[in-house]
Each structure stands twice: as structure tokens, then as C-alpha cells.
Amino acid sequence: MPAPKDLEGRHALVTGSAAGLGRSIALKLAERGASVIVNCTKSMADGEATVADCQKAGAQARLVQADVSTDEGCAKLAEAAAQGGRLDILVNNAGITKHARDHSDLDALTREDFLHTYAVNVAGPFLMLQKTKALLVEAHRQTGRASAVLNVSSIAGVTGIGSSVAYAATKGALNTMTLSLARALAPAIRVNAVCPGFIGTRWFKDEMSPEQYAKMEAGVAASVPLHVASGPDDIADSAVFFLTDASRHVTGETLLVDAGMHLGYAPLVAR
């Protein structure tokens, strides 16, 4: 069944959208009629492929290379969004980690590891809102509809599991920031978050052999209550809810989309 064109005429920006979950969200927004700014830091070929697929869906799309951990990168993205006159949807998806799964090994992370992870995962979403706030408010002024901001967090920020202590800490901070900004920016802007568990993307695949990845994916499916290993589209379907009028009365929410991982069967992995 074709996607409804309920986002026709809306302008969206998705950070970290060259691949993985960000790509899936960008494509779903495009399929529903939104124009989309795709963002990457380095993966230009992947970003161009995502733009091409958004355009195949009938949407206007373009790629902006920018690093959200910097003022300059966020300003560049905001300048691109300003060309549309307003911004209806902002998805703060860009995120990084340094894999250090043994949380008891405190020597596995350096001060620089912590600061860089925070710069992308926490400062990045804040800076993006700082730079695009006027555009988001303008969309509310023009339409009477609250603009939608979605922060992509993680089950790691709720349970403390995950790829590293630093990663879990940043996602916990992002969850708290979601609450603060939802309160502060209403009624013009709604701010929500999704907390995925395991997602089958290059996040893990690039760190493992195909055999290791297949074993881990099977282990995840066996250990979560729903007995599934989620892919990017599975999470994106839930994420897009926060970007449509179906959630028009929702702000300050943090939704766990983890196949039940938080219920106590969680393995030692999380997005």
C-alpha cells in the first residue's frame, strides 16, 4: 500500500541520514511527501544514494555535508534549511560511539573519547535546535501547527547497557534534554525521542565478521520478548509517528522501540 502523502509541503532535515536509521527515516518522510535535507559528515556516496532514492519517491531532496558536533556544521545545515523559508521537521539522528563493551574496563575510554561522543550525541542536537529554532518557530507561525523535533536516543540511555559507558551516558543526557526542551519550546515546537534497542546496521556489521554478526543477531532475537532482531525500517516506522499529525498532542515523550529489551532480557548490545 502506498504511503499517505500527509506530509506534502513540509520541509524536513535529518542529520546523519546517509545510511542506517537516518536513511530509513529520510526515505519514509520523502514517501509521505516532505522535502528532505539529507546530511552526512563523510559518507558522500551513501548520502547521494539516499538523496536519489528520496527523489525517486517524488520528493525534493538534497545533500548537505556538515559535522553536527561543530557550530559551523550546524549553521551550514540551518542555512540550507532556511532556503525553504521554514523548517517543519528536524530529526537529530547523527550519533557516534567508541566500542568498549566491557563497562568495567575504565581504561578503554579516554577523556577525548568522552568529549567527542558528547560533542556529537548531546551538543549536536542542542546546536541543531539552537541554529534552526527560528525556522521551526516560523513554520508554526505560518501553519498554526507545532513543528516536530525528534531526538534519536537509545535504550542505552535508559538502562545503561550499550556499546560503551560514554555512549550510554550521552543518550541518558539526550533523554533529559528532550524533556527540558519540550517544556521550554512549547507550544511552537514539539520535542520527542525514540530509544531503539538493537538495530541491524553497519553500526555492528563494520565491527564484525559476517559470521559474528549473524550469531549476534540470532542471539538478540532469541533473548528479547518479541523474538525479533530489528532493522532500520522497523524503528523508522515508529519514529515517523512523532513527525506527523498523529502525534500532534505529544511532546516530551521518550518511546522505547526495542522489541522488549528493556523488560530484562537485554543482551550486551544496543544501538
The one catalytic residue in 118, 167, 213, 265 is: 167
Question: What does R_g of the chain's alpha carbons equal in angstroms?
Answer: 18
Measured between alpha carbons, how far is residue 125 from residues 79, 80, 171, 231 in Å?
16, 17, 11, 23
Closest residue by Cα to residue 21 from 240, 256, 232: 232
Active site residue 167: yes
Residue 11 pairs in a beta bridge with 35
For residue 123, what is the DSSP state? I
User: Of 85, 80, 87, 86, whose CA–CA distance to 65 is shortest?
Assistant: 80
Strand, coil or helix: what is 84?
coil
Give, as one character, the DSSP assignment of residue 134: H
| Cβ–Cβ < 8 Å for 95, 39 | no
> Which residues are catalytically annotated?
167
